Amino acid sequence: MRSVEPEVFLVAKPSVDYDELARYLHEIGGESWLERLERGEFDAQNLAEFAGRLCYRSFEPGLNPNVTRIRQDQDAYLRNILASAHGSVLEHLSFSFVLHNVSRVLTHELVRHRPGVAISQESLRFVRLNDIPFWFPEWAREDAELMKRATEMLDRMEEFQKWMAAHFGLDEDGVPFAEKKHRTSFMRRFAPEGVGTGLVWTANVRTLRHTIEARTAAGAEEEIRLVFNRIGEIMREEAPALFGDYVVEDGAWVPGYRKV
């Protein structure tokens, strides 16, 4: 048994092609909006603002005859997007995370969030276990008898994985990969649901806002609360105007604007 901690890595986020944006804005006469924009650091926010303004052609007063004044401050503009529940523009902004050393307890719960999400998970049909990575919450680590018994059990399960690999001769020369896959698929049945695994999880901002709230709530499972607290912290750094309305109360991320 190998003791691990769940980790979150942000591996991809929105990037705006400002040259192409400028070409479009030149077509409609909205170039001055781009001149006001701060480029580079908060591309996700810039893309959200662009998508929202395109809906009403509100880059400048007068481009749409019905629009005689506009909000020029981005924070104020995006705050109004959240307040008015104009959440469709947030679906253009996707962030990709690697969730590392998370259990299948967590992944089984995470797959319930499907709209606006893409998932690629490590397959234990193909990936053979040579140890059992396992996370223990702090309260469990403080229980000496529990840790002794749990560690002994996990060590036996790990040893059984190694015994099966040797018994099936999986490391011998010439074993077809199809045979390895067949045996490995059987062997994973003897791994605990708490075994550490990994996945790429991509979600748009509309989904992220909902999932952060739901999975840090007081009644959520403790490991997923830990992971989504970290995701919330990352998103507040990446897009403060879109996640700055949250208040953290006893670990629960409570948004100022719901149902966006």
Paired residues of 99 in beta bridges: 8, 199
CA atoms within 13 A on the CB side of 21: 21
**Which of 25-29, 93-97, 202-206, 256-260 is the least confident region?**
256-260
Other beta carbons less than 10 A from residue 43's beta carbon: 18
Share of the chain above pLDDT 90, in %: 93
Q: Stretch 28-54: mean pLDDT, rounded?
A: 93
The conformation of residue 64, written as its DSSP 8-state character, comes to: S
pLDDT attached to residue 259: 78
Look up the pTM and report it. 0.94
- What are 87's two structure tokens? 């959440």
pLDDT attached to residue 125: 95
173: left (phi over 0), alpha (psi -120 to 50) or beta: beta
Other beta carbons less than 10 A from residue 225's beta carbon: 19
- The residue from 53, 206, 215, 225 that is catalytic is 215
Active site residue 112: no
Q: What is the mean pLDDT of the chain?
A: 96
Other beta carbons less than 10 A from residue 104's beta carbon: 19
pLDDT attached to residue 255: 97
**Is pLDDT of 15 > 90?**
yes
Q: What is the pLDDT of residues 184-197, one digit of tens each?
A: 999 999 999 999 99
Confidence band for 84, pLDDT divided at 50, 70 and 90: very high
Rounded CA separation 52/56 (Å): 7
Other beta carbons less than 10 A from residue 240's beta carbon: 14
* DSSP conformation letters of 188-234: GGGS-TTBEEEEEEEEEHHHHHHHHHHHHSTTS-HHHHHHHHHHHHH
Rounded CA separation 64/108 (Å): 48
**Is pLDDT of 205 > 90?**
yes
Q: What is the pLDDT of residues 160-184, one digit of tens each?
A: 999 999 999 999 999 999 999 999 9
**Is pLDDT of 136 > 90?**
yes
pLDDT attached to residue 68: 87
Q: What is the pLDDT of residues 110-122, one digit of tens each?
A: 999 989 999 999 9
> 133-134 and 2-3 as β-strands: parallel, antiparallel, unpaired?
parallel
Alpha helices in the chain (DSSP H): 18-28, 31-36, 43-56, 74-83, 104-110, 138-141, 144-167, 177-187, 205-216, 222-238, 240-243
Q: What is the pLDDT of residues 218-245, one digit of tens each?
A: 999 999 999 999 999 999 999 999 999 9
CA distances from residue 231 to 80, 94, 210, 224, 256 in whole angstroms, order as listed: 24, 13, 12, 10, 18
Closest CA to 193 of 98, 95, 109, 90: 109
Q: Stretch 88-110: mean pLDDT, rounded?
A: 97
Paired residues of 95 in beta bridges: 203
Q: Helices 205-216 and 222-238 sit at what angle, rounded to 10 degrees?
A: 140
- Domain positions in the chain: 14-93+205-260, 125-190
